[in-house]
């Protein structure tokens, strides 16, 4: 058999293997992958988030605070939190621009054990049945500058939760639809 005949016979198997590997069961949590439409997110997108613009004592507006305290199982009561935003929207914006990242970190405990949740505006119609265009994350500090992605997507995967929350990220953030699904006080679109 000629060398080219062996390559031609192996080529279909290689193509199928590459397609299967590229269309796996979801994004790799370590690097962010490209799950869904819009802008892909990788762990380096969160690099140095502690240096971004921030607001302390974050939480939902008072009208939603009692509801969240009753249903969130601790997600918003894990201690004082700080929220960070990678870029402020232009004044007068009615939505956050694609690429906006908001990170909420509990200020209690050693740096590498703190609970950290994030949302990133993916665009492209990502999560059309929930907080449209937003993807949710749980992060873990590796050090003061770098994180790893614990989980990501439309909400926590089976077996994981948002700080013990029985509801999904979309369930709670649906109440903030008029602020582009962002609950964080200090990050109201009208404040920019």
pLDDT surpassing 50 at residue 12? no
The arithmetic mean of pLDDT across residues 67-79, rounded, is: 49
Neighbours of 119 (CB within 10 A): 22
Domains of the chain: total:
1
Q: Are strands 101-106 and 81-85 parallel, antiparallel or unpaired?
A: antiparallel
Is residue 23, in this structure, part of any structural domain at all? Answer: no
> pLDDT value at position 161?
62
Residues 149 and 141: their CA atoms lie apart, in Å, by 9
Is residue 149, in this structure, part of any structural domain at all? Answer: yes
Is residue 35, in this structure, part of any structural domain at all? Answer: yes
Is residue 114, in this structure, part of any structural domain at all? Answer: yes
Q: Which domain holds residue 103?
A: 30-191
Residues 148 and 14: their CA atoms lie apart, in Å, by 31
| pLDDT-derived band at 63, boundaries 50, 70, 90 | very low
> Taking the complete model, does pTM exceed 0.85, yes or no?
no
pLDDT surpassing 80 at residue 5? no
Is residue 40, in this structure, part of any structural domain at all? Answer: yes
How far, in Å, are 70, 161, 179, 192 from residue 165 at the CA level? 10, 6, 22, 30
| pLDDT-derived band at 162, boundaries 50, 70, 90 | low
Residues 166 and 186: their CA atoms lie apart, in Å, by 26
> pLDDT value at position 94?
96
């Amino acid at each position: 058999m000629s060398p080219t005949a062996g390559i031609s016979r192996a080529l279909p198997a290689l193509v199928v293997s590459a397609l299967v590997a590229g269309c796996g069961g979801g994004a790799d949590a370590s690097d962010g992958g490209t799950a869904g439409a819009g802008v892909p997110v990788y762990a380096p997108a969160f690099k140095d988030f502690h240096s971004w613009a921030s607001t302390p004592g974050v939480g939902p507006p008072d009208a939603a605070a009692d509801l969240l305290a009753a249903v969130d199982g601790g997600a918003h009561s894990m201690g004082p939190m700080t929220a960070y935003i990678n870029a402020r929207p232009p004044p007068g914006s009615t939505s956050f621009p694609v690429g906006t990242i908001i990170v909420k970190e509990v200020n209690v405990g050693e740096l590498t054990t703190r609970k950290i949740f994030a949302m990133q505006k993916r665009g492209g119609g990502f999560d059309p049945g929930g907080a449209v265009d937003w993807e949710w994350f749980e992060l873990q500090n590796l050090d003061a500058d770098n994180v790893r992605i614990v989980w990501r997507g439309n909400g926590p995967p089976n077996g994981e939760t948002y700080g013990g929350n029985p509801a999904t990220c979309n369930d709670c953030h649906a109440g903030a639809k008029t602020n582009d699904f962002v609950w964080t006080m200090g990050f109201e679109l009208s404040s920019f």
